[in-house]
Structure 1
């Protein structure tokens, strides 16, 4: 009994130590960047919900008295314009409810009054009470929807799916002010600080742990959970800024500068905008929520459709593998996903089980003795990649994107990720089942440093150019490339 009691007494101290090491912003469960929700996309969803609520309000008001089309259609459109113009969809956690609901009342009243004025000009007998009825119904509808939006936002923030995760490079006064403000407002999560002067900065900055030097950030395991890296430096430290950017060149995460301004107002405005990433943008993709939504819909439609249509083929491949050689049907390998996240990629096993190469230490060659008879066929036809459709369904991969390479993959005896400084920039987007490199002749093993550089160059070209229409073009070109590429080693 005494031993058990002592164990229970020690546990809170251990938990407290762990909590201090994690810092005040660290959620209970870190969510990778790919799982997070776009604030702008969520705002558009809220706008669509408000539009439906306003149309319903028009229907209710129209049931009480006859309303012309200007009130049915014009008033809801005007109300939405006013809501957008007044920042109703900024999702600011610091805004008071009184001010938020005041904005809704003003938008509903102004929209009803404006549409009513137009109706009065068209029909002098139009009753003013109709405007008041519509405005009251619209205000009630908007208050209901925005209370619902507030509850949704609260749950998403609590789960770590919406609040931006940042790491700070430089324990400067600007970083300290940023952390103090974040502690007060909770509009961003600052997961850690990296500073080359750790002996002067100390183990933490206002409770946020100092996780290491700038060089430690490049391969740090926290990167897959970081939305943005913020460099905080004095504005006159030009050489220092250039040095930091050069050191962080291999990092896939977007980077912004937060200058340590002497002007307090300018500093306050910059910190107030940080939750929307409205800082001096330096590197990294600026994502478009509309494109990302369309891409995800395309991914789900194609992957789920392919799983249904190709189920007999996949079953036949699995049966042939079991007949051909002993061992599991599937081969699982750790590879890099979005923002260097480690993901488990699925393939049909094409090698003898005892010869399976989980780290890609040896690239596949022609007549490779490790590859089975069935393996040669499914590699040549790319049927071995079909299980990756499950990775697409779960959101770890996309149909189109840079092909995921094995972690620590060797090429010509050297680690591929060390051969090109910007290698990790290909991880700024989700890896794909097919991609720009594949349809331009770079598919299969990369045996030399030149092969790696060409693959990375093509991947980065796609990262910069990507669009929904380019994705469709790559998908349409994939089958002809596979059929016409019989000479490629796979």
Structure 2
């Protein structure tokens, strides 16, 4: 049998090219689904983040305990003043690496510290054995205090094991309170969904919380209750549900032979900022081994991943905070001068707040310097600003052309509603030729899979200012989606540092 590569069959390109119905617009979800969604509004902690933080904590604990013993037994003023700290740091790092290699940071292992007592002891002993062999090979073993390292062996192990006992209790409490779980929705009901749910529930130390089932089919073909879980609505209602609840994963439980139906579903679902998996537990098709991932022993096909997740989200948030503070400090004289000029030029407040779509379609308030006369302003942005627009003040014309009006958005980025780099946020009611933007561009809301930004890939490529044609909206969206699909910290840095240069082109800014 020939192997099949799902990366081609269900790729982003295949989904977007699929000639299926457009995204359905529904007034809302039923009361039961809304009540269920409200139970999952609280953010969760990723197991990857928990184990990652524990790695850093254990390294710090080992290093600091080793240094304390070093100061106690040897003191800093000796001929190996630098070698000791370097050796202790190297041993601490090696221990963490070996613990990682031995799967000692898996959540299942962390929940059972007593069962993994021997493994942790063996790793710690192995670390000392490797360090001793290295010192012997370098003929430096006589230079180091045996009493120091003997004491560190005992103290270090007790600290690690004690820390893991504490972590075990914390993890169990977090799991019990629903704070450390991956929340999943099942797409498609019936027997295939029941088989999937039973398989997932059999997994020991399973962190998947199934929140419900969504299916377009009626109750005759898709029962209202499957394996104890309710069918909460249709696929279109699932999108609204995932806007309310904090959902991590969608698992499509349909036979992969129904390729057209799967693509039809993915065309609706890919706009959500979640991992999308296709269950392969009951499929007869043969895929390349690397195509599979697993939830326990249940094989899954990874179709789409959340663009920015876990440590990437930490790095991006840190990036936003640091550079937003720098921007506020550097541009504070410009912002002060702009505020004074606005007050002298026309009546009204200095700042203008506008409701826009943020991450996952959440409504956020974005700050700008006011550039229009107060009595002519348009908070909904239904009417596009055009060249020589009479609503724009004299100062407003200048600050819009130079993008100075956007500087207060550094505060949006600092407080977390915006990112420094990302797709520009559009007003909720923004229109082109009496059509909302999502009515113009198929998959428009996929722009909101990441936080909107103060600057973005589309803007530095010339797509800024007036959007007076549907083609301009489509091109901006294409650039935004390219950014999302190719995101990296280096890409963000590139966009950020190119922004001042590209802003010199004011052709489309009014």
TM-score class normalised by the smaller sequence: 0.7 to 0.9
1:141 to 159, 163, 168: 159
Q: 1:139 to 1:356 in 2, by over 3 A?
A: same
5+ residue gaps, structure 2, are 1-30, 75-79
Q: Which residue of 2 aligns with 1:96?
A: 112
Which of 401, 415, 418 pairs up with 1:394? 415
**Residue 273 (structure 2) pairs with residue 257 (structure 1):** no
- Equivalent residue runs for 1:183-194 within 5 Å: 185=205, 187-194=207-214
CA–CA distance in 2 between the matches of 1:93 and 1:354?
64
Could you tell me which of 399, 404, 412 is aligned with 2:433? 412
Q: CA RMSD in A?
A: 3.8
- Per the alignment, residue 271 of structure 1 pairs with 295
Trace 1:442-481 onto structure 2 (pairs within 5 A).
442-481=463-502
Q: Which has the higher helix share?
A: 1
Residues 198 and 212 in structure 1, CA contact (< 8 A), matched pair in contact too: no
Would the alpha carbon gap of residues 298 and 86 (structure 1) be closer, same or farther in structure 2, given more than 3 Å must change? same
Q: Does the 8 Å contact 1:284/1:428 carry over to 2?
A: no
Provide the C-alpha distance between the structure 2 equivalents of 1:157 and 1:47, rounded to a whole number of angstroms. 20
Alignment of structure 1 residues 339-378 onto 2, 5 Å: 339-378=360-399
* 8 Å contact from structure 1 (residues 111, 135) kept in 2: no
Question: Structure 1 residue 438: deviation in Å?
Answer: 0.6
Which structure 2 residues correspond to residues 145-184 of structure 1 after superposition, within 5 A?
145-150=163-168, 153=171, 162-173=180-191, 175-176=193-194, 179=197, 181=200
Q: Which runs of 5+ in 1 are unaligned?
A: 1-17
Q: Does 1:30 align with 2:35?
A: no
* More deviation, 37-46/345-354: 37-46
Alignment deviations for residues 185-209 of structure 1 (CA, whole Å, 9 cap, x no partner): 5613333321112424454545544
Q: Which residue of 1 aligns with 2:315?
A: 294
Distance 1:256 1:250 in 2: 14
CA spacing shift, 1:103–1:52, aligned 2, 3 Å: same
Partner of 2:96: 80
* Alignment-derived partner of residue 402 in structure 2: 381
CA separation of 1:144 and 1:97: change in aligned 2, threshold 3 A:
closer
- Please identify, of 46-55 and 215-224, the stretch whose mean Cα deviation from structure 2 is larger: 215-224
Q: Distance in 1 between matches of 2:91 and 2:389?
A: 70
Contact 1:402 1:426 in 2 (8 A): yes
Partner Cα distance (1:421, 1:363) in 2: 21
Distance in 1 between residues matched to 2:309 and 2:161, nearest whole Å: 29
**In terms of mean alpha carbon deviation, does 159-168 or 428-437 score higher?**
159-168
The Cα of 1:483 is off from its aligned counterpart by: 2.4
Counterpart in 2 of 1:438? 459
Higher RCO, 1 or 2 (CA under 8 Å, sep at least 6)? Answer: 2
**CA displacement at 1:398 relative to structure 2:** 1.2
Deviations 1:72-123 (A, max 9, x none): 3554333222210122223348842322444322322332344345556757
Q: What secondary structure does 1:433 align onto?
A: strand
1:405-437 residue CA offsets vs partner (Å, 9 max, x unmatched): 112321122111122223222222221111111
- How far does residue 304 in structure 1 lie from its aligned partner after superposition? 1.4
Task: Work out whether residues 424 and 454 of structure 2, in 8 Å CA contact, stay in contact via their aligned partners in 1.
Answer: yes
Q: Is the 8 A contact 1:75 1:115 kept in 2?
A: yes
